[in-house]
């Protein structure tokens, strides 16, 4: 199968090198399941300073990414990389697990990283297919957001995470947060691992994990329960958990 192609338009290509060699993503690259290329808009400048920014029309603070080098970088990317041109910006649609999964089903993606106060709007209007934000805060540029998106997409590409079960157990896979995890030692700083996990009773363990996913989601992200599709068993459990919490019991047994 052809690798999933990431093409990143950035004036800081060096930021992507260690990421592409490290951990799960790095293994995906060396196993040819993922491929990454960077395109530097500075390579398409003609002045001595290789400048890619200019003052904003209308005045104001900060500089704006000038359109021509971005246009040329996008054209180059389109020649080698299928899929949409995605601009990382705090003004974009907030990224969700569902969007990550649908993007991972494509053959590739071009990630456009802005810097300065913004990029010339005509690039967005003419060449950007989608604007994505990774959260309601402002980064100095789109690069960290591009890395977040690349990592999340890569996990969904088959074979990148060795055990398919690890991806299926991830938070958000079924619209819920993950359950807590424990490993040795069985007691740490006088805090014991929940007894059920040492019982060897797989049915009880599965049930406990399902309950803890619901407890985690209910207490930390109750908004997710509005859209998660729960089985009748999960619905029943959730009612019981609400009751337990209302009575003030710990709900972790």
Q: Is 145 in the site for ligand ADE (CB under 6 A)?
A: yes
Q: Does residue 51 have a cis peptide bond before it, meaning omega lies within 30 degrees of 0?
A: no
Q: How many CB atoms lie within 10 A of CB 176?
A: 22
C-alpha count within 13 angstroms, C-beta hemisphere, residue 236 = 4
Is the CA virtual torsion 142, 136, 229, 183 positive or negative? positive
Cβ 89 to ligand ADE shortest distance, Å: 5
Smallest distance, ligand ADE to C-beta of residue 68, A: 21
Phi, psi (5° rounding) for residue 71? -60, -45
> What distance in Å separates the CA atoms of residue 24 and residue 161, rounded to the nearest whole number?
7
Question: Helix, strand, coil: what percent of the chain each, to 5?
Answer: 45, 15, 40
CA 12 to chain centre: 20
Q: Which of the residues are catalytic?
A: 90, 117, 155, 170
> For ligand ADE, which is the closer residue by CB, 92 or 194?
92
In whole angstroms, how close is the CB of 57 to ligand ADE at the nearest point?
22
Judged by CB, which is closer to ligand ADE: 4, or 65?
65
Site for ligand ADE contains 109 (CB under 6 A): no
Asked if 60 is part of the footprint of ligand ADE (rule: CB under 6 A), the reply reads no
Q: Which of 20, 112, 134, 237 binds ligand ADE (CB under 6 A)?
A: 134
Among 135, 198, 199, 242, binds ligand ADE (CB under 6 A): 135
Contact 41, 52 (CB under 8 A): yes
Pick the binder of ligand ADE from 74, 139, 152, 153 (CB under 6 A).
139
Q: Name residues contacting ligand ADE, limited to 78-97 (CB under 6 A).
A: 88-90
Q: Is 69 helix (H, G, I), strand (E, B) or coil?
A: helix
Q: 148 vs 197, which CB is nearer to ligand ADE?
A: 148
Residues that bind ligand ADE (CB under 6 A): 88-90, 133-135, 137-139, 142, 145
């Amino acid at each position: 199968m052809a690798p999933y192609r990431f093409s990143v338009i950035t004036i800081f290509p060096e930021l992507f090198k260690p990421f592409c060699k490290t951990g799960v993503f790095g293994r995906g690259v060396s196993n040819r399941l993922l491929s990454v290329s960077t395109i530097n808009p500075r390579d398409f400048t003609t002045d001595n300073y290789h400048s890619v920014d200019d003052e904003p029309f209308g005045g104001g603070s900060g500089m704006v990414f000038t359109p021509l080098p971005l246009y040329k970088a996008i054209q180059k990317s389109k020649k080698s990389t299928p899929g949409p041109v995605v601009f990382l910006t705090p003004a974009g649609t907030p990224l969700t697990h569902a969007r990550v999964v649908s993007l991972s089903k494509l053959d590739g993606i071009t990630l456009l990283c802005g810097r300065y106060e913004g990029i010339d709007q005509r690039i967005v209007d003419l060449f950007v297919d989608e604007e994505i934000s990774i959260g309601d805060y402002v980064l100095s540029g789109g690069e960290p957001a591009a890395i977040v998106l690349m990592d999340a997409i890569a996990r969904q590409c088959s074979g990148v995470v060795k055990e398919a079960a690890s991806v299926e157990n991830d938070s958000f896979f079924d619209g819920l947060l993950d359950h807590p995890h424990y490993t040795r030692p069985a007691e740490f700083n006088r805090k014991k691992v929940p007894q059920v996990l040492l019982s060897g009773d797989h049915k009880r363990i599965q049930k406990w994990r399902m309950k803890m996913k619901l407890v985690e989601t209910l207490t930390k992200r109750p908004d997710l329960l509005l859209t998660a599709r729960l089985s009748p068993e999960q619905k029943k459990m959730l009612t019981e958990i609400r009751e337990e919490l209302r009575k003030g019991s710990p709900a972790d047994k």
